[in-house]
Chain A
């Protein structure tokens, strides 16, 4: 399995163009091989736990994409009788995977934009929660507004809540050099405690359960299909956000500054760039994106917020940003991948008895392989090519 199409001539005769082509090729090859290797090792774990990996991955596939046979049958019924119920049922798994991928896109962008500036945002989980709570609050407390006003207000509420939650560690980092990894984790715990209090007191709906009231219909993200399908506008807003982040990072001066600060803060400072402003700005943007992830989940899917609402999103977001090489297009692809994995995992659990947690194991392995491309190159005997590396973190120091 060591097939790459790298030419075999000695390096000194290679042209710059060939080098460039190979580096793009390899930039795509390593993540793909990392995912493949992760799935293979996941299969080994499934096998070791006494189940059949093929059966499990089959259930994973039909759980995330639906059964092709059902789809064809559904289309047949639609054309012959005009009845779309069977088709809706057939595309349910696919749309549900997209629904799951939606907050992943936002949250992955949140971590990715941080990485681009050399900041590690482990706080996406807390920002997600605060964003969800803020948008839910706007969604259920403002009454009598038309949708055209209410929905944007609720979305903005979520983004602002998240931005505030991200901005605090950003400011502490910029002003005092306090490490954002610890501070964002602390902000996560503060967010969980705050939400415990809000959900059991000020924001609690009537009834026993500690959850918020449902948001009003005017604040819900519109859905495209009838009842069981939850596919909604949020997915396209997420794609738009990915494009905007791309445009911001690569086509604006501010985006260039952010990447410069990430690549070399000392050089950026020497060139007259304002490090403090950039740190605060990036963490606010990262928080806003994570807040939007929560917002998309509340306004598009659940319509209320309960305890443990954001569980796991923070680490998933890190995996997605790493897998997507902190590039918005890569993040979208990685988020879709994890959406399909998580979407199919429920089916895998019920059909093959494999706990959902297998996805976390695969995720962790993928992160290891992405972070250590040397391992992947070593397994598949790929020659290393000097490529542009994305800055990740730099210890506790400021």
Chain B
């Protein structure tokens, strides 16, 4: 294989700094986790989850110290290899090293104890669901060059509508459909402001967040709190086990024993990927996002595409809102989205405005989220607050572009004038 590509200086510098970072991570794994584990300790990773249909298999038991050393060595090797050879797919290398770090960390944290890995992965996917839906909403809007940071507000409104209508009608599907519709309606308002009145897109999104938080908290404290049983008590979608597939060890409980919202999310990721990259609609969307003038010249109705995409995005965020109430706890609490909409946007950028990338990043955030809960149970000697910070810090590092720059659609955030 000949390398005809001549590297620019900045590229070379970036690769060197990546190599050093990876090498340092290897050393860090050794210093943080390697020294403090004792050689005879074993770590048990539980692979069976009580109450699921998966066939039972043996747990994974590994010697703690040897595993940590191995992970440290792999990370250091990858770093050294990058320094020596300069691999171009830096994302893959970063993924490998991040994986070694997480494995070493878990092995160290659970040394001498048992840790249920399948349970952890299951809760990661569940916690990733609202983040992924927010991220998908962002992807579809921004591919047509409309920034929507009002996702948080849309999700709050949809969450409330879902639980109230589901409680009143005694039918969860009514709640789900109305949540999706109200999400689309609020997004349509955003689209109208930014397309018709050319309102600054970020300001409009902030206004939607404030109004969303205000309206839902207002309704909650004026009505819902006094009548919890008649207005704010819907129950949740049941877990549906997919026959056959749910019997697969590990994968079964993680992927095939979930509720409707989680399945819909998984389906949406695939559908949106196909729609964006393999249909005329997707081509038009991307053209409008990259170069609206050119798209207009070729007869694409720029405004229409933007309206449609933002509204579909809002409907997806509405589904995300429904997850919070009828998809998980069955009741509405004030400000229950807790910044998930914004984390979804970070996942979108992290995933490079790509449905599958956005979903994968959401999984990382979901993993970090559930990790923190598990670690409190394991009594790890680091304050859980610092672990909770990790996803935010990682997002900031990703945004610096040290590990491959995330480039938004070229016209993102700009109003289009004919």
Q: When A45-B218, A182-B346, A185-B342 are in contact, do A371 and B399 touch as well, CB less than 8 Å?
A: no
State how many angstroms separate the Cβ of A310 from the closest Cβ of chain B: 14
Contact present for A190 and B207 (CB under 8 Å): no
Contact present for A49 and B412 (CB under 8 Å): no
Q: Check: A91 CB closer than 8 A to any chain B CB.
A: no
Q: CB-CB contacts of A161-185 with B at 8 A, as 1s and 0s?
A: 0000000000010011111011101
Contact present for A186 and B210 (CB under 8 Å): no
Query: Which of B210, B346, B349 is the one whose CB lies under 8 Å from A363?
Result: B210
State how many angstroms separate the Cβ of B373 from the closest Cβ of chain A: 14
Contacts of B349 in A (CB 8 A): 179, 182, 396
**Chain B residue with Cβ nearest A172:** B400
| A residues 109-136 in Cβ contact with B at 8 Å | 120, 122
Contact present for B401 and A177 (CB under 8 Å): yes
**Chain B residue with Cβ nearest A199:** B385
Q: When A176-B401, A183-B396 are in contact, do A374 and B207 touch as well, CB less than 8 Å?
A: no
State how many angstroms separate the Cβ of A51 from the closest Cβ of chain B: 8
Given contact pairs A178-B401, A193-B392, a sample of 13 additional A-B residue pairs in the complex whose CB atoms are under 8 Å apart: A122-B206, A176-B402, A178-B399, A178-B400, A185-B339, A186-B393, A189-B389, A193-B386, A194-B385, A358-B218, A360-B217, A393-B201, A395-B201
**Chain B residue with Cβ nearest A360:** B214
Contacts of A196 in B (CB 8 A): 385
Q: CB-CB contacts of B278-299 with A at 8 A, as 1s and 0s?
A: 0000000000000000000000
Contact present for B401 and A368 (CB under 8 Å): no
Q: Check: A222 CB closer than 8 A to any chain B CB.
A: no
Q: Is the interface of B mostly helix, strand, loop or mixed?
A: helix
Give the interface of B toward A (CB within 8 A). 147, 149, 193, 197-204, 206-215, 217-219, 221-223, 339, 342, 345-346, 349, 383, 385-386, 388-389, 392-393, 395-396, 399-402, 408, 412-414
Contact present for A189 and B392 (CB under 8 Å): yes
Q: Is the interface of A mostly helix, strand, loop or mixed?
A: helix
Q: When A189-B339, A397-B408 are in contact, do A368 and B193 touch as well, CB less than 8 Å?
A: yes
Contact present for B203 and A371 (CB under 8 Å): yes
Query: Which of B197, B203, B223, B346 is the one whose CB lies under 8 Å from A367?
Result: B203
Instruction: Across the A-B interface, give the 6 residue pairs with the lowest CB-CB distance, nearest first.
Output: A395-B413, A360-B214, A364-B211, A364-B210, A178-B399, A197-B385
State how many angstroms separate the Cβ of B135 from the closest Cβ of chain A: 13
Contact present for A357 and B221 (CB under 8 Å): yes
Q: When A318-B206, A319-B210 are in contact, do A182 and B395 touch as well, CB less than 8 Å?
A: yes
Q: Check: A77 CB closer than 8 A to any chain B CB.
A: no
Contacts of B204 in A (CB 8 A): 368, 371-372
Contact present for A396 and B218 (CB under 8 Å): no
Contact present for A358 and B214 (CB under 8 Å): yes
Q: Check: A365 CB closer than 8 A to any chain B CB.
A: yes
Q: Check: A315 CB closer than 8 A to any chain B CB.
A: yes
A397 to B201, CA, bound (A): 13
A359 to B147, CA, bound (A): 26
| A residues 344-389 in Cβ contact with B at 8 Å | 353-355, 357-361, 363-365, 367-368, 371-372, 374-375
State how many angstroms separate the Cβ of B211 from the closest Cβ of chain A: 3
State how many angstroms separate the Cβ of B368 from the closest Cβ of chain A: 12
Contacts of B206 in A (CB 8 A): 122, 315, 318, 367
Q: Check: A2 CB closer than 8 A to any chain B CB.
A: no
Contact present for A396 and B408 (CB under 8 Å): yes
7 contacts across the A-B interface (CB closer than 8 A):
A186-B346, A186-B392, A322-B203, A360-B211, A360-B217, A392-B203, A395-B413
Q: Check: A152 CB closer than 8 A to any chain B CB.
A: no
Contacts of A193 in B (CB 8 A): 385-386, 388-389, 392
Query: Which of A186, A319, A353, A354 is the one whose CB lies under 8 Å from B395?
Result: A186
